[in-house]
Amino acid sequence: MRSVIIGTGSCIPEVRVPNSSFSDHVFFEKDGEKIFKNMASVIEKFQTITGIAERRYAKPDQQASDLGALAAEQAIANAGIDRETLDYIIVAHNFGDVTVDSNRSSLVPALASRIKAMLKISNPDCVAYDIPFGCPGWLEGLIQANLFIRSGEAKRCLVIGAETLSRVIDPHDKDSMIYSDGSGAVVVEGRDVASGMIAWKTQTHAYGLTELLHMGSSSSPFIKNKADLYLKMNGRRVYEFALNHVPLVVKSVLDKAGTGVTEIKRILIHQANHKMDTAIVERLFKLCGAGSIPEHIMPMTIQWLGNSSVATLPTLLDLIAKGKMPGYEVAPGDKIIFASVGAGMNINAVLYQF
């Protein structure tokens, strides 16, 4: 029995936020020292490193669960199934629902329950639960759905990644330019076929590393309300961690399946940072003793969508599946790698065959 993706969907928010929107921001270093550099040069350097030219934010009346429900509706319609036949709804996120006028998380009830209600699914045997697992959350949800299916516990699962990072970022931290909002979803079904999920692996490197991505007070020394917490990152150490560990996890998945990296058609990697993702793929090919990296092996959306955490991978997959990324199509028999890294510090990878 293999777990096969039979439907995809995504919600790309309508609000476009170009880099120029940050021109009037006042940024501070982590020690509270004001950044006096010309903002145009700060933004230019940011775009050179991350690849981000713009990002998307949810509309004021939308929260993460709203985005998740929209992506789920697409995935269900694309799969052509009766939604009442779903056995699990697994929703990955990190901050729950956050309104536009607050950075406080709303986590009760679970987003999965909220989305199930929005989808008007009445079947009580359709179990809905959340995964807070950093940016790798959606991929971990896919792995869990696969294990439910392989064990015979489930036949069909809906896996969603939804996030509104624009509600939890510090406007005085230059890292705030990285983050965005969005949602993606897939329907996974168990089938007796050769395609589907072939191999997978997950790691958690928590000891001594949990502070690399954490919640903290504003970088501005002039904000006295320390009760408000914002998403904080040690960018340099995250970069080094990812480069040192993600290629090893991906290679272990390939080795487990007896598949060479040259057999991989596409590498769908969490859209965290263009420079970092490129370096990870280069390190992977070197680790595997492979030659030059094929052109178009790594599709990227970060240029116009930014980093929407758990939503980047399912959104990327949906765009490819629906022919919206010319040059990055996949065909039956093609093998792809999913990989992600994020807070925790968590890493996972999946080998999938169409």
* Backbone Cα Rg of the chain: 20
Mean pLDDT of 55-72: 97
146-150, 206-210, 227-231, 246-250: which range is least confident on average? 227-231
Alpha helices (H) along 258-327: 274-287, 302-305, 312-321
44-48, 142-146, 253-257, 330-334: which range is least confident on average? 44-48
User: Residue 321's pLDDT is what?
Assistant: 96
pLDDT tops 90 at residue 28: no
User: Residue 114's pLDDT is what?
Assistant: 98
- Dump pLDDT digits (tens) for 189-220: 999 998 999 999 999 999 999 999 998 888 88
User: Residue 123's pLDDT is what?
Assistant: 97
User: Residue 178's pLDDT is what?
Assistant: 95
User: Residue 333's pLDDT is what?
Assistant: 95
Mean pLDDT of 220-231: 80
Contacts of 207 (CB under 8 A, 6+ apart): none
**Burial label, 80 (beta-carbon count in 10 A; 0-12, 13-18, 19+):** exposed
- Dump pLDDT digits (tens) for 70-127: 999 999 999 999 999 999 999 999 999 999 988 888 999 999 999 999 999 999 999 9
Q: Which domains does the chain have, with CATH numbers?
A: 2-192 (3.40.47.10), 198-353 (3.40.47.10)
Q: Given phi > 0 = left and psi -120 to 50 = alpha, else beta, which region is 196? A: left
Confidence band, pLDDT 50/70/90 cuts, at residue 31: confident
Mean pLDDT of 29-52: 84
- Dump pLDDT digits (tens) for 154-174: 999 999 999 999 999 998 898
Confidence band, pLDDT 50/70/90 cuts, at residue 17: very high
User: Residue 5's pLDDT is what?
Assistant: 98
User: Residue 346's pLDDT is what?
Assistant: 97
Percentage of the residues of the chain whose pLDDT score is greater than 70: 100
User: Residue 198's pLDDT is what?
Assistant: 97
Mean pLDDT of 324-341: 95
pLDDT tops 80 at residue 40: yes
Where does the chain show beta strands of DSSP type E? 2-11, 15-18, 54-57, 88-92, 127-131, 156-164, 181-191, 196-204, 213-216, 230-233, 264-269, 335-342, 346-353
